[in-house]
């Protein structure tokens, strides 16, 4: 579930909006005064608040030409927690950042330093983990994987 979208080509991050701004935006989308598109595929989307009160965006049409994978509420919460932690520590945090051959749940940037966070809820083989780390390395980012199902937390940077 994306946290980032474009409103009439202006980038917004859902968790940065106040409840008032969020509700106002919802009205503008509904009345078609504004157009919301998603960065992953440029398709139209709309605003949704989860049962736990987390603001996010969803695709409004069939996303047949989008490779966005469904995310659990836990995944969404983890992304928000990572973003907040990055910002508290003085890093710029971009959700759902993608380059040609990789995507990060959150990309943290501080000056020249970049760390790609990826939340991994399902099991992942070592080979897949290594493959992803290599892609980050190629683009001068450090990859940090946050595993939920492991007693040994991997914090390889």
CA dist 117 and 3 (Å) reads 15
Sole binder of Zn ion in the list 7, 41, 58, 85 (CB under 5 A): 41
Q: Is 38 in the site for Zn ion (CB under 5 A)?
A: yes
Of the pair 86, 106, the CB lying nearest Zn ion is at 106
Of the pair 66, 85, the CB lying nearest Zn ion is at 66
* Torsion from C-alpha of 119, 122, 126, 128, nearest 10 degrees: -70
Reading phi first (left if > 0) and then psi (alpha if -120 to 50, else beta), residue 102 is in beta
Sole binder of Zn ion in the list 1, 3, 13, 40 (CB under 5 A): 40
Q: Is 85 in the site for Zn ion (CB under 5 A)?
A: no
Q: Is 66 in the site for Zn ion (CB under 5 A)?
A: yes
Interacting residues of 64 by C-beta distance below 8 A, sequence separation 6+: none
**Phi then psi for 124, rounded to 5 degrees?**
-135, 135
Q: Is 121 in the site for Zn ion (CB under 5 A)?
A: no
Which range binds Zn ion by CB under 5 A, 8-16, 18-26, 36-44, 129-137? Answer: 36-44
For residue 106, the tally of other CB atoms under 10 A from its CB is 26
Least CB distance to Zn ion at residue 43 (A): 5
Sole binder of Zn ion in the list 68, 75, 99, 139 (CB under 5 A): 68
Q: Is 17 in the site for Zn ion (CB under 5 A)?
A: no
- What sign for the dihedral angle of Cα 98, 104, 105, 110? negative
Of the pair 104, 115, the CB lying nearest Zn ion is at 104
Answer for the pair 133, 155: CB distance below 8 angstroms, yes or no.
no
Residues in contact with Zn ion by the rule CB under 5 A: 38, 40-41, 66, 68
């Amino acid at each position: 579930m994306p946290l980032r979208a474009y409103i009439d080509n202006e980038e917004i991050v859902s968790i940065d909006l106040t409840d008032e701004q969020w509700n106002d935006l919802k009205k503008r989308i509904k009345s078609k005064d504004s157009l919301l598109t998603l960065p992953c595929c440029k398709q139209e989307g709309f605003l949704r608040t989860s049962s736990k009160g987390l603001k996010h965006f969803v695709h409004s049409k069939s996303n047949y030409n989008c490779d966005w994978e469904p995310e659990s509420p836990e995944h969404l919460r983890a992304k928000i927690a990572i973003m907040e932690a990055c910002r508290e520590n003085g890093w710029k945090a971009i959700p759902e950042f993608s380059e040609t051959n990789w995507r990060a749940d959150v990309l943290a940037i501080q000056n020249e330093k970049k760390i790609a966070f990826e939340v991994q809820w399902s099991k992942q083989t070592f080979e897949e983990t290594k493959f992803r780390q290599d892609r980050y390395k190629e683009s001068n980012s450090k990859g940090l994987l946050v595993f939920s199902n492991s007693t040994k937390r991997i914090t390889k940077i």
